[in-house]
Chain A
Amino acid sequence: MTTSVKSSDPQTSGARLEIERVRRDFPILHQTVNGRPLVYLDNAATGQKPQCVIDTIQRYYETDNANIHRGVHELSVRATDAYERARAKVQRFIGAGRSEEIVFVRSATEAVNLVAQTFGRQRIEAGHNEIVISEMEHHSNIVPWDLLCKQTGAKLLVAPINDQGELLLDDYKNLLSPRTAMVAIGHVSNALGTINPVRDIIEAAHQHDIPVLLDGAQAAPHLKIDVRELDCDFYAISSHKLFGPTGVGVLYGKYDFLNQMPPYQGGGEMIKSVHFDKITYNDVPFKFEAGTPNIAGAIGLGAAVDYVNDLGLDNIAAYEHELLGYATEALSSIPQLRLIGTAREKAAVLSFVFGDIHPHDMGTILNQEGIAVRTGHHCAQPVMDHFDIPATTRASLAFYNTKEEIDALVAGLHKVTEVFA
Chain B
Amino acid sequence: MTDLNELYEAQILDHNKSPRNRRRLEDADRRADGYNPLCGDKITVFIDLEDDLVKEVTFEGSGCAISTASASMMTQSLKGKTLDEAKALFAKFHSLITGEPCEIQNGPELGKLEVFSGVCQYPARVKCATLAWHTVNAALEGDVDDIVSTE
Contact = CB atoms under 8 A, between A and B. Distances in A.
Interface of A: 357-361, 364-365, 368, 375-377, 381, 384, 390-391, 415, 419-420
B147 interface: no
Given A390-B42, A391-B39, A391-B40, A360 B64 contact: yes
A419 B62 contact: no
Nearest to B124: A364
B8 A419 contact: yes
Given A375-B39, A376-B39, A419-B8, A390 B62 contact: yes
B151 to A, nearest CB: 11
B128 A360 contact: yes
User: Dominant SS at the A interface?
Assistant: helix
A322 B7 CA distance: 37
B6 to A, nearest CB: 11
Contacts of B125: 360, 364
7 interchain residue pairs of minimum CB distance? A358-B64, A390-B40, A360-B64, A360-B39, A391-B40, A361-B65, A361-B64
29 contacts: A358-B63, A358-B64, A358-B65, A358-B68, A359-B64, A360-B41, A360-B63, A360-B64, A360-B66, A360-B128, A361-B8, A361-B65, A364-B122, A364-B124, A368-B1, A368-B3, A376-B38, A376-B40, A377-B40, A384-B40, A390-B40, A390-B42, A390-B62, A390-B63, A391-B39, A419-B4, A419-B13, A420-B8, A420-B65
A385 B122 CA distance: 29
A207 to B, nearest CB: 39
Contacts of B1: 368, 415
A365 B64 contact: no
Report which residue of B4, B40, B41, B128 has the largest number of chain A beta carbons within 10 angstroms of its beta carbon: B40
Contacts of B68: 358
A375 B66 CA distance: 15
Given A360-B128, A364-B124, A384-B40, 6 more contacts: A359-B64, A360-B39, A360-B41, A365-B4, A390-B39, A390-B40
A46 B3 CA distance: 28
A390 B41 contact: yes
B40 A368 contact: no
A384 to B, nearest CB: 7
Nearest to B122: A364
Contacts of A384: 40
Nearest to B8: A419
A358 B39 contact: yes
A94 to B, nearest CB: 33
A415 B5 CA distance: 12
A365 B125 CA distance: 12
B4 A359 contact: no
Nearest to A384: B40
B54 to A, nearest CB: 27
A384 B65 CA distance: 19
B132 to A, nearest CB: 15
A365 B6 CA distance: 12
Contacts of B38: 376
A389 B4 CA distance: 25
A250 B32 CA distance: 42
Contacts of A419: 4, 8, 13
Residue in A357, A358, A359, A390 with the greatest tally of chain B CB atoms within 10 Å: A358
Contacts of A357: 65
Contacts of B63: 358, 360, 390
A368 to B, nearest CB: 5
A377 B62 CA distance: 14
B26 to A, nearest CB: 25
Nearest to B3: A368
A254 to B, nearest CB: 36
A420 B66 CA distance: 12
A38 B52 CA distance: 52
Nearest to B36: A360
Contact of A359 (B13, B39, B42): B39
Contacts of A364: 4, 7, 122, 124-125
Contacts of A368: 1, 3-4
